[in-house]
Amino acid sequence: MKKTLMIIAGIVGLTAASEAQFAGINGGIMLGGGFMEDPDKGYGFLQLRGTVYEDDAVSHTLFLEVLGHSDDAELEFLGLTGVPFVENGEINFTNFTLNYELEAKLSSAISFYAGAGGGIERVSLDDAFDFSVDSDSNFVGQAFAGFRAKLGKSFFAQVGIRHLWRDDFSLLADQFLVEDTTAYELSIGFRF
């Protein structure tokens, strides 16, 4: 999770330093978090957004998203004598996705949004001493929807739901399997 937070901080810093990343496109940043039903854990995310079309009724937005969460893990190893032993560790997930969002404006301040995306989910296992034990990457897909409220000219907040489709990983001889999950989230954003 530490690595994910460092990546997110770097992306925010680069975006804040240069608004020209979405040349000719209305850009934005969104930070948020939520709760996943499986593995029953919280998560955080950062979106770098670019609205490619907008009028009084709808907008079409593309965005890159980094989403991360971690969970406790029991790691089973085979000792030198052939006797298995268990060690506590941590499993870290980082998703990098490209997404499309359609926003329907219900009023001047409230709108409904929905969309989908896909990308790569990177998972790594760390032992009790924070050393990397194993890692793998796979496809992740998502669909999401929710309601957004404008807070002034440049700020907005939203509440939403998303569903993640995740491929299984091959970690420590298949000791770990991931489940598809539904998540509930809150976020705030800034448009420039």
Report the CATH number at residue 122.
2.40.160.20
Q: Give the strand pairing for 84-105 and 132-151.
A: unpaired
The yes-or-no verdict on residue 16 having pLDDT over 50 is no
Q: What does each C-alpha distance from 173 to 72, 78, 135, 136 come to in angstroms? A: 18, 12, 12, 12
Q: How far apart are CA 140 and CA 135, in angstroms?
A: 16
The yes-or-no verdict on residue 157 having pLDDT over 80 is yes
Q: What is the pTM of this model?
A: 0.80
pLDDT of residue 31: 98
Q: Mean of the pLDDT values across residues 13-42?
A: 71
Backbone phi and psi for residue 153, each to the nearest 5 degrees, phi listed first: -80, -35
Dihedral, CA of residue 80, residue 81, residue 87 and residue 93, to nearest 10: 50
**In terms of residue numbers, what domain contains 9?**
2-191
Q: SS3 helix, strand, coil % of the chain, rounded to 5?
A: 10, 65, 25
The pair of three-digit structure tokens given for residue 86, joined into one six-digit string: 């268990």
The size of the chain, in residues, is 192
Q: How confident is the model at residue 10 (pLDDT cuts 50, 70, 90)?
A: low
Structural domain count of the chain: 1
Q: What is the mean pLDDT of the chain?
A: 84
